[in-house]
Amino acid sequence: MENIVGTTLNKLRRENGYTQEQVSNYLGITQSNLSKIENGERNFNMTLLDKLCLLYNCSPEYLLGETDSHEKPSIAFRSDEKVDLNVVAKMNEIKGFLKLLRKLDSDD
């Protein structure tokens, strides 16, 4: 069976310019565990799935290979700044809430 989840995670991490060390620290797991997840040697739990979706601004369905729909994160940082992935995830979460509020407001 193809390792869709691991391949997607690896692709997203590289597209966003994050290292395995950064992402594993954000997730609270070892770099070795993240490497095993990306290589299809280990699964992850729902908590990690939620954190990854917030970090990469995507749905669980996208990470699990059930859809191709993905909106790339639009948060930019200066390259000389050390990026805090917790802040990135929180900003993506807030952005999602604002998008939902705008949709609810336009439905009225």
47-103 pLDDT tens trace: 999 999 999 999 999 998 898 877 776 666 655 568 899 999 999 999 989 988 998
For residues 10 and 48, what is the distance between their CA atoms, to the nearest angstrom? 15
Q: How many domains does the chain have?
A: 1
We report the CATH number of the domain holding residue 101 as 1.10.260.40
CA 86 – CA 27 distance, rounded (Å):
9
For residue 51, give every residue at least 6 positions away whose Cβ sits within 8 Å of its Cβ, in sequence order, or none: 26, 27, 89
Q: For residue 53, which phi and psi values (nearest 5 degrees)?
A: -65, -40
**pTM score of the predicted model:** 0.82
Q: What are the CB-based long-range contacts (under 8 Å, 24+) for 65-71? A: 65/4, 65/5, 65/8
pLDDT bracket for residue 1 (50, 70, 90):
very low
Provide the residue range defining the domain that includes 49: 4-107
